[in-house]
Amino acid sequence: MSVTPEQNPLLELSPQDLRAHAAEALTRARARSVALTDAVDDEDLVRQHSKLMSPLVWDLAHIGSQEELWLVRDVGGREPLRPEIDDLYDAFQHARADRPALPLLGPAEARAYVREVRDKAFDVLERTPLEGSRLTESAFAFGMITQHEQQHDETMLATHQLRRGEPVLHAPEPPRPAGGARTGEVLIPGGRFTMGTSAEPWALDNERPAHEVDVPAFVLDTALVTCGAYVEFLESGGYRDRRFWSEGGWAYRTGHEIGAPRFWWRELDGWWRTRFGVREPVPADEPVVHVSFYEAEAYARWAGKRLPTEAEWEKAARHDPATGRSRRFPWGDEEPTAEHANLGQRHLRPAAAGAYPAGASPYGVHQLIGDVWEWTSTDLYGYPGFEAFPYREYSEVFFGPDYKMLRGGSFGTDSAAIRGTFRNWDYPIRRQIFAGFRCARDPRPGEVG
C-alpha cells in the first residue's frame, strides 16, 4: 500500500482566503484567552492556584511573547516590543512553581501587551507573502501560533478546574446519546496503514512525516471507559490490589495516597466530584476524566485488557478499510462541527458515551476526537525521518521514556489544535489534565479469520 495524502481543504485556498482563515483562527483563540482571564478578578489572575500550574496572568503574557517572537520579529522582521521580558516568559527558563515570584507583567499591562502584539501580527499577516519559506508557506507560522494559544487556553482551563471558590465558567450541557450510553468492542483487522502526515499544512513536527505502519489485529473498546465502569474498579478494591499496578504506578499511588480520580470523593450516597467549582454526583455514563496513565493502566489490567498503542489508536481513528487511505478525522476530511465532537470548551464536561454518532470512525469507534485525551501505552518518540521544525523545544527535547502519548483531544481542546495525527504527551503521573482512556486487547483464538 502506498502513502496516500489526506484531502485537506486548506491547500485549495487562495492567498486572500488563507489570510482570512488564519485571521479567524487567531481571533477565535484570542476571544477564548480573553474569556478565560476576564472570568476572574485581578487577584485571582495573579494567584498561583496550584504549583502544577502558572498564574493565569503568566499564561496570558506568554501567549503574547511567543506571538511576538515568531510572528512580529521572525516572520515580520519587526523591532522587538518588549525584549526585556523574553526570559520571564520562556517556559524553559523558569519552572511553573517559581513563576509567581518573577517580576511579571500585571493584569492591565499583560492585556495591553497582547493587544499590541496582535495588532502588529495582523499587519504582518496582511503584508507577508504566504510562500517562499517553510514558516510562511500555507500560513504555517500563524497556524502554529494559533495552536500554541489554544493549547495554553486548555492549560488555563485546567487551572480554572484547580481554583477554589464559586463557579465562574458556564456552558450548556453536552448532547445525550439516543437510547443511552453505548459500549462494546470491535476487531480492527491487522495490516498496514499510513500514520502521521506529510500533507497537513499546520501539522507540527512530531506528526511528520507520513509513513506506513504494520499493526497486528487488535480489539478496541468502541466507547471510552465511563465513570460507572470505573466505579466498579474502585468498589472492587482495585486501588488496593498490587496485582493491577506497575512498579512505578504502585509507588506513585501509595506514595501520594491516591484512592480515586482527582477531584472525586466518597459520600454515604455514592461518589461525588468537583467540576469547575460545582459539586455534583459522579455521572455514571460520562467518560472518566482526571486519571493518570498509571490509573488507566491499572484499570485495564483489572478488566483483563490493556491500553492501546499509539499506532493502534491512530489506525482506529484514521484508517478507512474501504479505500485503504487515512482520513484527517474519524468521520472524514472535513473540519469538526458540533455534530462530530465535543471540542472548543463548548461544554464544560465530557459527553456521555455514544453522544456523537456522526463522529464515529469507519470501524464504529466513538468519540476518538474530543471529550477526553486518551492515554496510550506508547512513549514519546519521533517518527522515522523526523525533523525538528521550527525549534527543538516544541517536542524533540521531550523524546524518551519519561512521557506517555495522549491522543484525540478533550472538551477543552479547540478544533484548530486537534486532528487525527495530533500528538500530545505528559508525565504518567499527571491527573489535572483532561485525560481518560479506552481499553484494547489482543484477539482471542478464533476471533481473527
pLDDT tens readout for residues 366-378: 999 999 999 999 9
Q: Is the pLDDT reported for residue 179 higher than 80? A: no
Closest CA to 32 of 412, 432, 434, 419: 412
Closest CA to 1 of 188, 187, 210: 210
307-335 residue pLDDT tens: 999 999 999 999 999 999 999 999 999 99
Please tell me the pTM assigned to this model.
0.96
How is residue 272 written as a grid cell? Answer: 461525588
Residue 430, CA distances (Å) to 193, 233, 318 in order: 31, 20, 27
Residue 278, CA distances (Å) to 155, 170, 273, 289, 407 in order: 19, 10, 8, 15, 27
Q: Where are the alpha helices (DSSP H) in 128-269?
A: 140-162, 227-235, 247-255
Percent of the chain with pLDDT over 70: 98
How is residue 126 written as a grid cell? Answer: 496582511
How many C-beta atoms lie closer than 10 Å to residue 321's C-beta?
A: 14
Q: Is the pLDDT reported for residue 178 higher than 70? A: yes
Residue 4: predicted pLDDT = 46
The whole-angstrom separation of Cα 107 and Cα 112 is 9
Q: Report yes or no: 35 and 357 within 8 Å, Cβ to Cβ.
A: no
When pLDDT is cut at 50, 70 and 90, the band that residue 270 belongs to is very high
How is residue 429 written as a grid cell? Answer: 503521573
- N-terminal to C-terminal alpha carbon distance within the chain: 21
How many C-beta atoms lie closer than 10 Å to residue 106's C-beta?
A: 14
Residue 182: predicted pLDDT = 66
90-135 residue pLDDT tens: 999 999 999 999 999 999 999 999 999 999 999 999 999 999 999 9
Residue 405: predicted pLDDT = 98
249-265 residue pLDDT tens: 999 999 999 999 999 99
- For residue 209, whether the previous peptide bond is cis, meaning omega lies within 30 degrees of 0, is yes
Q: Which residues of 212-242 are buried (b: 16+ CB within 10 A; e: fewer)?
A: ebebeebbbbbbbbbbbbbbebbeeebbeee
387-434 residue pLDDT tens: 999 999 999 999 999 999 999 999 999 999 999 999 999 999 999 999
140-162 and 56-67 helices cross at what angle (nearest 10)?
A: 180
